[in-house]
Structure 1
Amino acid sequence: MRAGGEGAVDILIVGGGVNGAGIARDAAGRGLSVLLCEQNDLGSGTSSASTKLIHGGLRYLEHYEFRLVREALIEREVLLRAAPHIVWPLRFVLPHNRSMRPAWLVRLGLFLYDHLGGRELLPGSRSVDLRSHPSGVPLQPQFAKAFEYSDCWVEDARLVVLTAMDARERGADIRTRTRCLSARRDGDIWRVRLAPEGGEEIEVTARALVNAAGPWVADVLNARIGLNANGAVRLIKGSHIVVPRLFEGDQAYIFQNDDRRIVFAIPYEGDYTLIGTTDVDYDGDPAAVAIAEDEIAYLCRAVSGYFKQPVTPDLIVWTYSGVRPLYDDKSKDASAVTRDYVLELDAPEGAAPLLSVFGGKITTFRRLAEQAVDRLAAPLGVSAPPWTADAPLPGGDIPNADFDAFLAGLRRDRPWLPASLARRYARAYGTRTGDLLGDAGSLDQLGEDFGDGLHEAELRYVVAREFVTVPEDFFWRRSKMGLHAGEKARSAVAAWFARLGEAAGAGRPAVAASIGKRA
């Protein structure tokens, strides 16, 4: 611990989304003491409400955001190497719509997209004849030509928790369900009041404060710190719908809409298709964000203009919405607001520094975090260099980033695991799957069987390692089993969590000692 009183930390971070977790990881890896507080679960806001893509942002080229696209394309391959279990390649099919952008413009954009980021791992773009290519089967017959290119899929909420896990394993103190009530400067330190859920308020001190509160970034500045942040952030709502699977194959589709926006249709969780997103200005409570009827109509209309099978509201099995805290560049159109990030450092002479994070996209979170810690390096006297570009995330240390070979090895070593369960564990936990399974040599040795592929060993693992405290954390963020598990299994899991809470309240260990904090 450094100056600022007994128990002081170097950096206190408000916000446990992808940016806050990324900053905590980078800073802890440079030897700084870090405390991160998150008012809910990790990634429970914007970071788990994305379109689940690691991408350069093809459409950003139209807004001449070449630096952002180049950085994102470089980061795409960094993350593909760092976490091949939760990040994997995805081919996108872009049907040519003659009433939209001309073919030459699309080809030019894809040429730049192929070359701006020094692509090494992913195949380049090409033209596709939809009349003979399998990707044309679900599309309306007027679409004869398409372009195909590469980007990546990401399990966004898992990206957040794995980043936070790595931060904790490097010494960071990660506190979920802990609100920041207030923060005030006291000379060269911050005095911050925190309120853990169900506990007493505490005061902690820090040499630097990072405001990575996402949609609440202005609220933290205005109401918690007492600084004026009016006009610095523009909240944009993005909504998605999930429907039963609309097409065969592993490809995704990107459709041009008549408002010059684009809408994705992406294979999702095996049985479904994910459709999104919208761009709508939002001025409500970010915690209460939800899809509106006109957004549902917009998304259904957009994809129905391309698929043979119309998409109607009655098909929807799930929706989710998030609020993007974009830096307000005064664009009239919500979809044209920059997705670039802005780091604002407030460091008066002799006073503790404050760094606020505006904007950003999930693809560039690692680079944002690196630059954030670089900005704080001088005030905090940090000399350690950046390190995260070549460091795998927990479970991502798969040899040669070859997921298929890793999965084959898992199935060979644990032949008693059903194929679907082995694949789900490998995708979620990567090389940490062994920690979850322990010495088990049969399904019976995974503890209580809740049904629908849910076993007690997995729950014990996510509680011990992944900051899970309630069933929702597991069903909708650590996994998407909320889409697959039946009512009986969900009720059984809820009962297990209730018993866990009772055991903890009685002072007994809540989790088996065999699953402790990783060294």
Structure 2
Amino acid sequence: MAPDYDLVVIGGGINGTGIARDAVGRGASVLLAEMGDLAGATSSASTKLIHGGLRYLEYYEFDLVRKALKEREVLWRAAPHIVWPLRFILPHHKDLRPAWLLRLGLFLYDHLGGRKLLPATKTVKLDRAPFSEGLKSLFSKGFEYSDCWVEDARLVVLNARDAADRGAEILTRTKCYSARREGKLWRIDLRNLETGEESTVTASVLVNAAGPWVADMLSGVVGANRTSNVRLVKGSHIVVPRLYTHDRCFIFQNGDGRIIFAIPYETDFTLIGTTDVDYQSDPGEVTISNDEVSYLCKAVSEYFERAVTKDDVVHTYSGVRPLYDDGAEDAKAATRDYVLELEGGKESPALLSVFGGKITTYRKLAEHALEKVTPFLPFNKGIWTANAPLPGGDFDVLSFADQVSGLRDSYPFLGERFAKRLMHAYGTDSQHILGGAKSIADLGHHFGADLYEAEVKWLVDREWARTSDDIAWRRSKLGLRLTGSDLVKLDRYLSDYLAQKAGAAA
């Protein structure tokens, strides 16, 4: 009996959507099921960096760093709207790592990853403008190097969109509650958590990309007798009003051996993170602790003239990283590399489970995952994603400013800030959202900030958005600007619009 799908992926985070996109592009039939919203957990709670991981050099993870560094420019080319270069300043703290060690680490960082477009490391004087702004005067020397920013949740959604455009079926708010082997196929039972409707599909290969729930998936859903070790580590971030006006990011050494980032964020804010805390509770209920807030405030206050306090915090977020448990004593030392475990595939259908990983290396993870299951799938194409743009990213990496100018020329009623936000979120799809609009009024109902009905409809119709949280905190970061009453209006509109769509489909 032929399966309903060649491949079923459980989990709509960056690894799950990356695998689904790659597999359907190779000719497999694919279904992805996510129990919540796309990027609803760990994949929207990162530090939002495409980076090699400078500190991992201290743990001799040279292969991981090399792999990640090589991906920076690959992902920048694929999605120049949601990925862009940043320059980081690492102040020299005379009481911590010596300057020669920092220079050596940055030399390796510059040369391990085949950097072509990103500028090289250089020494900077921190007692001069603009970098002296806000910093304590005792920090006079630093090193400036390159990495990239990414809109993490949008990266997930764009992978899902590309997968769907190529023929994959993407089901959100759909939980897999049972998966059992029947002969040479998987029998997978699904439940729509909004309607309660249940369905059953069959597949040749099952991919467990459930993130923090990867072990629960193995033991509770698949019924495996053995589950590999997974180490859940919580990472938390705080957002405060902007601490300085220049565009550089800071990477600060901390006395406990960790590093903390301070990054310009959404124009008016500074993002500070992250922590590394072992976590034992429900990943769906993760929140920042008072201790973590205090830790982050204290860490950056070691460097800034004006102390950052908990009263400055305007927003927080936390996520749980499903790291492979390599036995490291401290959470900060646990490997960030991914581990792929394959079971079955000969006499019984294959199960591939994904442990760990970084958002930077998701594309390579997908390639390696499919390499493991290639013998069991009808692929008619080899690796392909390295040179394929994601939706909206079909323009040159160095032409972003020209794209914004072009959008404003086509829609003169857009302000610079609004046009830039649309281009950073949607790239060339911005024109599809704006359509034939001749004035701001043509964009429909205004929900607050610069969110209008035309964009909301796009997010529902094309990007699986269902709630104000989906839109305000994952498809965008407009939650930093929308009021409580704005969000209530948005949820009411979404409820009515979804009901209309359901009625039209009936």
Q: What is the aligned partner in structure 2 of residue 172 from structure 1?
A: 168
Kindly report which structure 2 residues correspond to 1:12-161, keeping only aligned pairs within 5 A, or say none: 12-161=8-157
Q: What is the aligned partner in structure 2 of residue 4 from structure 1?
A: 2
Unaligned runs of 5+ in 1: 511-519
Aligned length: 505
Please list the CA deviations of residues 339-387 of structure 1 after superposition, one character each: whole Å capped at 9, or x if unmatched: 0001111125221000000000000001101111111111224352100
Q: What is the aligned partner in structure 2 of residue 249 from structure 1?
A: 246
2:464 to 454, 458, 467: 467
Supply the distance in 2 between the matched residues of 1:501 and 1:165 (Cα, whole angstroms): 19
2:368 to 367, 371, 374: 371
Supply the distance in 1 between the matched residues of 2:480 and 2:316 (Cα, whole angstroms): 11
Please list the CA deviations of residues 282-321 of structure 1 after superposition, one character each: whole Å capped at 9, or x if unmatched: 1110001111111111111100000011010111111110
Q: What is the aligned partner in structure 2 of residue 437 from structure 1?
A: 434
Change in CA separation of 1:229 and 1:245 when aligned onto 2, cut-off 3 Å? farther
The AA in structure 2 aligned to 1:161 is V
Contact 1:218 1:229 in 2 (8 A): no
1:315 to 312, 316, 330: 312
1:439 CA displacement: 1.2
- Report % sequence identity: 58
Q: What is the aligned partner in structure 2 of residue 393 from structure 1?
A: 390
Kindly report which structure 2 residues correspond to 1:331-410, keeping only aligned pairs within 5 A, or say none: 331-410=328-407
Kindly report which structure 2 residues correspond to 1:173-212, keeping only aligned pairs within 5 A, or say none: 173-197=169-193, 198-212=195-209
The AA in structure 2 aligned to 1:92 is F
- Classify the secondary structure of the residue corresponding to 2:70: helix
Q: What is the aligned partner in structure 2 of residue 515 from structure 1?
A: none
The AA in structure 2 aligned to 1:265 is A
- Classify the secondary structure of the residue corresponding to 1:134: coil
1:64 CA displacement: 0.8
The AA in structure 2 aligned to 1:502 is A
Supply the distance in 1 between the matched residues of 2:270 and 2:101 (Cα, whole angstroms): 28
Unaligned runs of 5+ in 2: none
Please list the CA deviations of residues 64-109 of structure 1 after superposition, one character each: whole Å capped at 9, or x if unmatched: 1111111101101100101010001111111100111110000000
Contact 1:263 1:302 in 2 (8 A): yes
The reply on whether 1:427 has 2:445 as its aligned counterpart is no
The AA in structure 1 aligned to 2:314 is V
- Classify the secondary structure of the residue corresponding to 1:349: coil
Kindly report which structure 2 residues correspond to 1:495-510, keeping only aligned pairs within 5 A, or say none: 495-504=492-501, 507-508=503-504
Change in CA separation of 1:400 and 1:76 when aligned onto 2, cut-off 3 Å? closer
Contact 1:410 1:422 in 2 (8 A): yes
Contact 1:81 1:401 in 2 (8 A): no
Contact 1:4 1:188 in 2 (8 A): no
Supply the distance in 2 between the matched residues of 1:229 and 1:292 (Cα, whole angstroms): 33
Supply the distance in 1 between the matched residues of 2:483 and 2:64 (Cα, whole angstroms): 42
Contact 1:377 1:383 in 2 (8 A): no
Please list the CA deviations of residues 27-70 of structure 1 after superposition, one character each: whole Å capped at 9, or x if unmatched: 00001000000000000110000000000000011111111111
1:414 CA displacement: 1.4
Q: What is the aligned partner in structure 2 of residue 236 from structure 1?
A: 233
- Classify the secondary structure of the residue corresponding to 1:128: strand
List, as ranges, runs of 4+ consecutive aligned residues in structure 1 with deviation greater than 4 Å. none
Please list the CA deviations of residues 237-284 of structure 1 after superposition, one character each: whole Å capped at 9, or x if unmatched: 000011111111111100000001000011111111110000011111
1:489 to 481, 486, 489: 486
- Classify the secondary structure of the residue corresponding to 1:51: coil
1:509 CA displacement: 6.0
Moved more, 195-204 or 310-319: 195-204
Supply the distance in 2 between the matched residues of 1:217 and 1:167 (Cα, whole angstroms): 22
Moved more, 257-266 or 413-422: 413-422
Contact 2:91 2:251 in 1 (8 A): yes
The AA in structure 1 aligned to 2:308 is V
- Classify the secondary structure of the residue corresponding to 2:162: helix
Kindly report which structure 2 residues correspond to 1:280-319, keeping only aligned pairs within 5 A, or say none: 280-319=277-316
The AA in structure 2 aligned to 1:173 is E
1:229 CA displacement: 4.5
2:411 to 377, 393, 414: 414
Supply the distance in 1 between the matched residues of 2:136 and 2:226 (Cα, whole angstroms): 48
Please list the CA deviations of residues 432-473 of structure 1 after superposition, one character each: whole Å capped at 9, or x if unmatched: 011101111111111112232111000011101101111110
What CA RMSD, in Å, does the superposition of the two structures yield over aligned residues? 1.3
Supply the distance in 2 between the matched residues of 1:229 and 1:470 (Cα, whole angstroms): 37
Please, what TM-score do these two structures have when normalized by structure 2? 0.98
- Classify the secondary structure of the residue corresponding to 1:135: coil
Q: What is the aligned partner in structure 2 of residue 163 from structure 1?
A: 159
Supply the distance in 1 between the matched residues of 2:384 and 2:139 (Cα, whole angstroms): 47
The AA in structure 2 aligned to 1:25 is R
- Classify the secondary structure of the residue corresponding to 2:498: helix
1:264 to 245, 261, 264: 261
Change in CA separation of 1:99 and 1:488 when aligned onto 2, cut-off 3 Å? same
Supply the distance in 1 between the matched residues of 2:495 and 2:406 (Cα, whole angstroms): 36
